[in-house]
Amino acid sequence: MSTKILKGLLAASIVVIISLSFWGFKTDQKNFEISKNMDIFFTLVRELNLFYVDEVKPEILIKKGIDEMLDTLDPYTVFIPESEMDDFKFMTTGEYAGIGAMISKRKNQIIVAEPYEGFPAQKNGLRAGDIFLEVDGKKVDKLAVSDVSDILKGPAQKVVKVKMQRPGVEKPLSIDIVREDIQINPVTYYGMIDAQTGYARLSSFTDGCADKLRSAITDLRDKQGATSFVLDLRSNPGGLLGEAVKVANLFVNHGQEIVSTKGKVSQWDKTYRATEQPVDSVMPLIILVNSGSASASEIVAGALQDLDRAIILGNRTFGKGLVQTTRDLSYNTKLKVTTAKYYIPSGRCIQALDYSHRNSDGSVGNIPDSLTSVFKTKNGRLVKDGGGVTPDIRDVQDTLSTLAYKLVQDYLVFDFATDFAFKHKTIASADKFIVSDDIYHDFLVFIKERKFSYESRSEQTLKTLIDIAKRERYFEGAKNEFAELEKGLTLDLDADVNKFSDEIRELIKDEIVSRYYFQKGAIIAAIGSDLEIKRVLSLFHSPAEYSAILAPSADKGPK
C-alpha cells in the first residue's frame, strides 16, 4: 500500500473518530441535561410538598407541569393518565362500557344530549333533554361533564343508578341502568339517495371501520343497484392510520401507494400501499369534506384526489398531517407523541404550516400562495400543500347565519325540540317530516318567551370601539357618526327570523327528527335539503362534467 493511500486512510479514520467522539459528547451532554433538570424538578416538587403553606396535591402539580411542557411542542403530543384510559380506548376502538349516551353541560345542568339507539340509556327510556340530578347517589350539579361521564362508565353488566328530571314532568325519575359494552358503528348511515347513487356517512376511523364500510358499499352496489357512490367524511376527526389505508384501498387497486410517513427515526419511515383488491376501482366517486374533516379523513380524501380516483367536494379540511405513536409509560399511563409527518401520493404534506394560529373552529387560516408548493396529481392536475385538502369544488354549502348559530349556542333549538317531543308522541317518517308554518310559529313564540336576543360581531366590535373612543376622549367628537353606525348595525330579530327561516327550519327539523329516529333519522332528514348532496347528484347525472374535472390538464386547479 502506498504512503499516500495510507495517509489518506489514516486521515479519514481520524475524522471518523473525531465525529463519533463529538456525537458521543453531544449525546452524553443531552443525557446529562435531562438528568440534571429531572433532579431539579423532583426536588422542587418534594420541597413544595413539605413546606408550602397549604396542602398540595403532587399528582395535580405534576400533571399540570407535564401538560404545560407538552404544550410547547404541538397540539397532538399529549400525556394520557390512567384515569383517561377508557376515553383513549373509545377514541381508537369505538368501545367502552357504559349507558350509551352523549352528555353535555348547560349552565349548571348535566343533560342527555343524545341517547344512542339500541343501547341501555335509550332502552331504559332516557331522552335528549333529560337532566341528571344524581348518579349512584352523588349529586352532579357541581360536577364537570367528564366527572359525570366517568361515574356513568364502569364494569359491564353492573348497575348504575340515575336520578333524572324530565322537562314537563314534576316528579324526578329514578332508573337503574345495567351498563353494557358499547361499540358505536362508525358507518352512521348508508342508503340510496336516488336510483343510481349510494351514500355512506363515516363518522370516525376506529378499529374495523373499513370492513363495515366495505359491507355497506357491497350492499349498495350488488343489492340496491348503486352505480355511483358518495362517501361523507364531513366532521370526521380521523382515527387510526391503518384504517385510513384500508378505506382508501376500497377504491384503488392492489399495490397502489396511499400514504407514506417520514420522521426523526428513519427506521420507522414507511410507505403504505393497498394490500387487497378493491371493492370497486371504477365507479364514479365523490367525497364530501369540511373544516372538521381531519387526519385519517384527509389521508383518504387527499390520496384519492392525488390518484384522480374521486372528486373532493366541500370546504378545505382541517390540516392535520402529523402521525402520533403511543408509548407506554409507568403506572398504566401513556404518551401519545408526534413521531412523523404523512405524505400523500403527489408528495405533498397536509399538515398546516402553522398549527399555532388557526381559525376559531380550529381549521386552517388563509395561507399566502408564496408559502405553498405546487404538486401534480396522477393526471397532472395542480394541487397545493400548506394545510389541509383543498376540494376540487369548494364552498357549496353556506355557513350558518349569526342568528342561527346563536339559537343553537343558547340551546333554544334543542329545548324547543325537547318540548315538542314531550307534547307529540309521534311524527312523520324521517324523510317526510317538515317544519310546518305552525311549528315555526310555535318556535318563534318559544324564543320570545325565553326573552332571546342576540347581536352580531359587528355590534360587539362597535361597542368595543366606542369604549376605546371614550377612554381616549374621541367619542364626543364623533358621537353622531357612532350613533348612525350603531343604528345601521342593530339587528332586527323579527326581520331576521323571516330572512333566515329556511336554515332555522332545517336546524329545528334535524333536532326534532333525532328525538324520534336518532342520529340515523337526522341524517336521512337532512339529505333532501343538503346543497352539497344536490351538487353531488348533478355531477353524477352529468358524466361529461364529472370526467372533465378529473381530466389531465397542465394548469387545472380547484374550482
> Is residue 153 within a helix (H) or strand (E), and if so which, with residue range?
none
Sign of the dihedral defined by the CA atoms of residues 121, 124, 126, 131, in that order? negative
Neighbours of 336 (CB within 10 A): 17
Beta bridge partners of residue 109, listed in sequence order: 106
Number of helices (H) and strands (E), helices first, in the chain? 17, 21
Longest dimension (CA), the chain: 103
User: What architecture is the 95-183 domain classified under in CATH?
Assistant: Roll (2.30)
> Is residue 451 within a helix (H) or strand (E), and if so which, with residue range?
none
DSSP 341-376: EEE-TTS-B-S-S-TTSB-TTS-B----GGG--EEE
Sequence-distant (≥ 6) Cβ neighbours of residue 411 within 8 angstroms: 106
Residue 25 has pLDDT above 90, yes or no: no
- Provide the 3-class DSSP secondary structure of residue 79: strand
Is 295 considered catalytic here? yes
> Do 285 and 251 contact (CB within 8 A), yes or no?
yes
What number is the average pLDDT over the span 401-420?
94
Q: How many CA atoms lie within 13 A of 127 on its CB side?
A: 23
Neighbours of 505 (CB within 10 A): 18
Residue 460 has pLDDT above 60, yes or no: yes
- Provide the 3-class DSSP secondary structure of residue 479: helix
Active-site residue, from 130, 163, 291, 306: 306
Residue 332 has pLDDT above 90, yes or no: no
Is 494 considered catalytic here? no
The grid cell for 246 is 384500508
Residue 482 main-chain phi, psi, to 5 deg: -65, -40
The third-level CATH classification (topology) of the domain covering 187-397 is 2-enoyl-CoA Hydratase; Chain A, domain 1 (3.90.226)
> Is residue 138 within a helix (H) or strand (E), and if so which, with residue range?
strand 138-139
CA distance 356 to 533: 33
CA distance 509 to 522: 8
Provide the pLDDT for residue 2.
54
Provide the pLDDT for residue 258.
97
Provide the pLDDT for residue 356.
58
> Do 201 and 216 contact (CB within 8 A), yes or no?
no
Beta bridge partners of residue 131, listed in sequence order: 111, 165
Is 320 considered catalytic here? yes
Query: Is the pTM higher than 0.85?
Result: no
Q: What is the pLDDT of residues 146-180, one digit of tens each?
A: 889 989 988 899 999 999 999 989 999 999 999 99
Counted residue by residue, the chain has a size of 559
Integer Rg of the chain from CA: 28
Domain with CATH 2.30.42.10 in the chain: 95-183
Provide the pLDDT for residue 398.
59
Nearest residue to 244 (alpha-carbon basis) of 312, 321, 336, 347 = 321
At 29, the pLDDT band (50, 70, 90 cuts) reads confident
List, in sequence order, the alpha helices (H) in 138-280.
145-152, 209-222, 241-249
DSSP summary character for residue 188: E
Mean pLDDT of the chain: 88
Active-site residue, from 163, 246, 320, 556: 320
Neighbours of 229 (CB within 10 A): 27
Nearest residue to 308 (alpha-carbon basis) of 326, 327, 280, 282 = 282
Provide the pLDDT for residue 148.
93
Nearest residue to 231 (alpha-carbon basis) of 216, 242, 245, 246 = 216
Q: What is the pLDDT of residues 256-307, one digit of tens each?
A: 999 999 988 888 899 999 999 999 999 999 999 999 999 999 999 999 999 9
Active-site residue, from 203, 293, 295, 514: 295
Nearest residue to 431 (alpha-carbon basis) of 532, 517, 540 = 517
DSSP 294-354: -THHHHHHHHHHHTTS-EEEES------EEEEEEE-STT-EEEEEEEEEE-TTS-B-S-S-
Domain with CATH 3.90.226.10 in the chain: 187-397
